[in-house]
Structure 1
Amino acid sequence: MPQTSLPSAAYADSKPHYDILDGLRGVAALLVVVFHLCEAHATSHFDQLLNHGYLAVDFFFALSGFVIGYAYDDRWGRMTVGGFFKRRLIRLQPMVVLGMAVGAALFYFQDCDMWPVHAVPVWKMLAVMLVGMTLLPVPVSMDVRGWQEMHPLNGPGWSLFYEYCANILYALVVRRFPKWLLGVLVAVSGAALIRFALTSPSGDIIGGWSLTAEQLGVGFTRMMYPFFGGLLLSRLVRPGHVRRAFWWCSLGLVALLAVPRVGGTEHLWQNGLYDALVVVVLFPLIVWTGASGTVTGRSARVCEFLGDISYPIYITHYPLVYTYTAWVRNHGLTLGEAWPAAAGTVVVSVLLAYAALKWYDEPVRRWLRREFM
């Protein structure tokens, strides 16, 4: 990219986006919504529809690492660590606050046998909301749902916690790594991920959302390879020229996440091997392919829309899923019986995300940039 004399904040915003990667983030976010809705009807990991939807989180980490490297690696002569943190907080934190508020607003509509929320005092729910708005993990003793989530009002906050950890590691330490040392970090992280995937007692890499030693280990294992692998990819590999990259990548992403459970109950390691193959090899390939394409016309508008709603839908949809799950449990409904409500929940999730983007997130971020950048 040509150099410019713009100040660091303006310069960082002047770089063109990888439109296809924005679009793929939106595709993955919609798949997460569908995965979570299907989870309400599953009895175990083995009969879950869109079975590998949990891997979308690992795809988000890979995308983030690649984009962070592209956006910031050549900025450090004009940008301080504090400036980087301010930019990331302005980008991410407003929707974290809104997501926790939505979770609190819907909490008492989610009572069911899985989580009897009517027994939770309002003061405790509000305390969890306020802590959650900082994205600091809630200890197990403050769990108000019974799933031991570090953010029990809005479960997906756990992955944003690790996103913040990755950004801190990048800004304080890893940005200074030469390519060979970053390669060593990625290789060690990849080996740890593969080992965990092959030996996991559940036969997958699901986990990371609890503030326990075991689950923190899972979360960091899931974050380290894809995020820093994406960063290494941005430094080592020049994008090529791939036609129809967005559509091929979207199809590949849907196919990888929709693959049924591999290996059954007798060969758990086989599903772990599948998870490792997808995260270690195929996700970087999709990121590179997406970065290697261009979009125009209708495809460009689709990517722009999907990119715009990707983060808002990810961080606001789960309170709706909790509510849907409680309704399904209370009425003993199958997916065949409840699919109109499930489809409606997807539509409401998209509308909520778009409204949050236009009426809250974008205005708040503009104000924060004026005041603090």
Structure 2
Amino acid sequence: MDNNTLYTKPHYQILDGLRGLAAIIVVFFHLAEPLAISRFDNVVNHGYLAVDFFFLISGYVIGYAYDDRWNKLTIGSFLRRRFERLQPLVVLGMTLGAIGFYFTDSTIWPLIHMVPLWKLIVVMLIGYTILPIPLSLDIRGWEEMHPLNSVGWSLFFEYIANILYALGIRKLSNKALACFVVLAGAVLLHFAVTNPNGDVAGGWTLNALHMRVGITRTIFPFFAGLLLLRVARPTYIKNAFLWCSLLVAAVLFMPRIGSAEHLWMNGLYEAFCIIIVFPLIVYIGASGVVHNQRENKICKFLGNISYPLYITHYVLVYFYVAWVSNHKGITLSQAWPYALLTFSGAIVLANASLKLYDEPVRAWLRKKLK
């Protein structure tokens, strides 16, 4: 078998672009988050749902890329390809997080300088594997499974979904997969409307509650994406990228639904978005084509930076959060120049990470893992 034959399928350009747009909104969400007084007043209130959107696109794209190739693949070769795609930037993100760790000292992380170097190195090395660290190694104090790069938790669950797909769920008939997805959707809906916080946010701590949240948020969208790929044949939809972009932005920028007395309403909104709206967006995106060179360049740029931006931006956000915490009571109108600087730096860092590190390392790994 020629391994390179597994890289010949064309991309869904619009889905690439939408993934990049969602990654940009994630950055906006993390920049607005430290300025919010509560979960009710973040100006990018539902930005965390971008992760669920990523999972759904991932399931769709994984099915498209590999479903018809298992006569040429082994489980090991599939997992090597996922490792090649995901792991280089995981390592970079953890390394950059470790380099910047002691420089993000602030009023919310008063004990950072008391963390011994050996402990930082241990956390970084575990982070390279994307395995979660126990709370005893939480060196930042946010109870995160990856305290050097906050977003690493979603990559952990991405790997779990990929492993489940490879080990057996890919073999399910469409009817069996549909039953599995419906059950996962019911679990997601129940969690969303009964969660005391009134949302699906969570998954970043190594404890029973967050592991449940992470699995719940991963299983439905990932395998719903796979089911969508198998049963819904794309058709032609005009201006798909524009309509999908507007829908993604509308969902993620939507203010909090309901009040503190009606938290279930927001949970219902989020479940509706994940179960209904996100699959609709992916279907429309898969049914569209880019209309001109400008739209093609936009989708290509957004697609290229989507993963590097997502996996490296929080390294800079730590510095921004430290600055905000050291200026109590600062408003959005006062903070926006620093937020804009952080956002611009994140875009530059993502591009540099892609061109100077990710692409060369993946090319090297591709040769080594043949």
Fold shared by both chains (TM-score > 0.5): yes
Distance in 2 (alpha carbons) for counterparts of 1:113 and 1:212: 26
SS at match of 1:223: helix
Structure 1 residue 351 and structure 2 residue 345: aligned?
Answer: no
Distance in 2 (alpha carbons) for counterparts of 1:114 and 1:180: 50
Distance in 2 (alpha carbons) for counterparts of 1:12 and 1:238: 22
Q: Is the 8 A contact 1:137 1:151 kept in 2?
A: yes
Quote the offset at 1:154 in angstroms. 0.3
SS at match of 1:317: helix
Aligned residues: 367
Please give the per-residue CA displacement for 1:35-63, whole angstroms capped at 9, x wherever unaligned.
00100111211111110001000000000
Quote the offset at 1:9 in angstroms. 2.6
Structure 1 equivalent of residue 19 of structure 2: 25
Structure 2 equivalent of residue 327 of structure 1: 323
Distance in 1 (alpha carbons) for counterparts of 2:322 and 2:117: 19
From 236, 239, 244, the counterpart of 1:244: 239
Greater shift after overlay, 330-339 or 21-30? 330-339
Distance in 2 (alpha carbons) for counterparts of 1:240 and 1:158: 35
Quote the offset at 1:120 in angstroms. 1.6
Structure 1 equivalent of residue 33 of structure 2: 39
Structure 1 equivalent of residue 280 of structure 2: 285
Structure 1 equivalent of residue 337 of structure 2: 340
Quote the offset at 1:214 in angstroms. 1.0
Distance in 1 (alpha carbons) for counterparts of 2:119 and 2:288: 49
Structure 2 equivalent of residue 4 of structure 1: none
| Cα gap change, 1:120 to 1:74, in 2 (>3 Å) | same
Structure 2 equivalent of residue 3 of structure 1: none
Please give the per-residue CA displacement for 1:248-295, whole angstroms capped at 9, x wherever unaligned.
101110011111000111100000000000000000000000000011
Structure 1 residue 315 and structure 2 residue 311: aligned?
Answer: yes
Distance in 1 (alpha carbons) for counterparts of 2:151 and 2:224: 22
Distance in 1 (alpha carbons) for counterparts of 2:29 and 2:89: 21
Q: Partner letter of residue 369 of structure 2?
A: F
Structure 1 residue 91 and structure 2 residue 85: aligned?
Answer: yes
Quote the offset at 1:334 in angstroms. 2.0
Quote the offset at 1:119 in angstroms. 2.2
SS at match of 1:331: coil
Q: Partner letter of residue 355 of structure 1?
A: A
Distance in 2 (alpha carbons) for counterparts of 1:293 and 1:52: 26
Matches within 5 A, 1:1-373: 7=1, 9-116=3-110, 117-295=112-290, 296-332=292-328, 333-373=330-370
Q: Partner letter of residue 120 of structure 2?
A: M
Distance in 2 (alpha carbons) for counterparts of 1:248 and 1:318: 29
Q: Partner letter of residue 69 of structure 1?
A: G
Quote the offset at 1:8 in angstroms. 5.6
Q: Partner letter of residue 125 of structure 2?
A: L
Q: Is the 8 A contact 1:8 1:79 kept in 2?
A: no
Distance in 1 (alpha carbons) for counterparts of 2:127 and 2:63: 28
Distance in 1 (alpha carbons) for counterparts of 2:265 and 2:252: 16
Distance in 2 (alpha carbons) for counterparts of 1:227 and 1:338: 36
CA RMSD of aligned residues (A): 0.8
Please give the per-residue CA displacement for 1:230-265, whole angstroms capped at 9, x wherever unaligned.
000000000111111111101110011111000111
TM-score by structure 2 length? 0.98
Distance in 2 (alpha carbons) for counterparts of 1:199 and 1:218: 12
Distance in 2 (alpha carbons) for counterparts of 1:247 and 1:153: 36
Structure 2: 5+ residue runs without aligned partners? none
Structure 1: 5+ residue runs without aligned partners? 1-6
